[in-house]
Amino acid sequence: MRFAVEAWDPSYGASVESELNESAAEVVLDVERPVQAWHPIDPDPSVRPPAAVLFVDGVRRVDAQVWVEEQEGQASPALCASYAAGAVCCCRDGAHLLPPEVRRGLFSTAPEADDIATGAGTYQAQRTDERSGVAPGQVLSSALQRALADTEFAAATAARGGHLAPEHPGADGDLDDLLVLDGSLRGRQHLPRTIGYVKTHHSNYLPPQLAAVIATLGPGQRTPAFRIEAPWRRHTWYLRLPCRPGAPWAGVVRVECSAELPAADVVTLASRSQVTLGRFASAEYKDSRAPQNLYPIAGLERELRRRLGDPNLLYRALRRAAVREREAQPVAVA
């Protein structure tokens, strides 16, 4: 019996779902090549890596689940969460962290929700609307995810907004950089020279005869670029990172860029991703999600989680703030 072992730590799930959902999205397959000419594409030897690569990612953590008291003795569930986003610049000077964004929020559907001031920081109230047929916990989790996405966008914008010295290759005025957003590009596709980096696969966008090309990719090879029309438009391609032989999709990632780019620019970004991303692929003995969890992203995640603060300290601070608030309320006298 021949078999292959998934390289990822099982606690993270799998890089590819056991059964990919068949996407109902309309797909344009001949963006780069006609369907008949689909085959693995080797790296272009004339393409050079950018002078600076900016990796952007974010992390989130629920510090406490709380109840916001409303009128007539009612209470609504809420989340107190910490979240952060930042960027790592990899250039000729090495890898260095750009100033991260660290935020804390109270996510609730209650109109009475207000900021919670604690000794460890203030949780800013962020109200969201209830949604029919959607569990309250899911509504709050989605609101937290939107806030994290906004913070990641701020971090991505700041990475190109003059935080670097003028002579630095990633500073404004120098176009020789590449911005890599961990995850989908959705909502950020208008950023220039930017790609989205998708590590896990849940849907199959290609017909069977073209999906078979993915299994034949060698390290550093990619599929031709194609375009997904819905639920939102983007160009995309599959790329296999350097890894030892294994399952058919071992080391495969999906890379995205804006659907508004002309085909020539899409091919340029796809070719650049081939000569860039593999340089940062992780090894199994160092990372439990190798090779897809790139070293700069893994390091950025660790640093951002550290900056979220100690969860036990934050939880105790929230408990003290709740007691203090109750003690400050006037007591009704009969």
Q: How far apart are CA 80 and CA 157, in angstroms?
A: 26
pLDDT at position 166 is 45
**Amino acid at the residue 311:** P
β-pair type (252-258, 194-198): antiparallel
Quote the CA–CA distance of 37 and 30 in Å, as a whole number. 9
SS3 call for 176: coil
Break the chain into its structural domains and give their ranges.
Answer: 10-307
Non-local (6+) Cβ contacts of 306 within 8 A are none
- Is residue 172 predicted with pLDDT exceeding 50? no
The model's pTM is 0.88
| DSSP state for residue 305 in the 8-state scheme | H
Residue 164 has pLDDT above 60, yes or no: no
What is the token pair recorded at 260?
A: 């508004």
Amino acid at 253: V
Instruction: Specify the DSSP class assigned to residue 25.
Output: S
Looking up tokens 């036990």, which residue turns up?
312
pLDDT digits (tens, 9 = 90+) for 29-82: 999 999 999 999 999 999 999 999 999 999 999 999 999 987 777 888 999 999
The pair phi, psi for residue 46, each rounded to 5°, is -85, -10
Give the model's confidence band at 12: pLDDT under 50 very low, under 70 low, under 90 confident, else very high.
low
If DSSP codes are grouped into helix, strand and coil, which group holds residue 123?
Answer: strand
Kindly give the residue spans of alpha helices, DSSP state H, lying in the chain.
136-159, 208-215, 263-276, 295-307, 311-328
Angle in degrees, CA 40, 43, 48, rounded to 5: 160
What is residue 9's predicted lDDT score, i.e. its pLDDT? 65
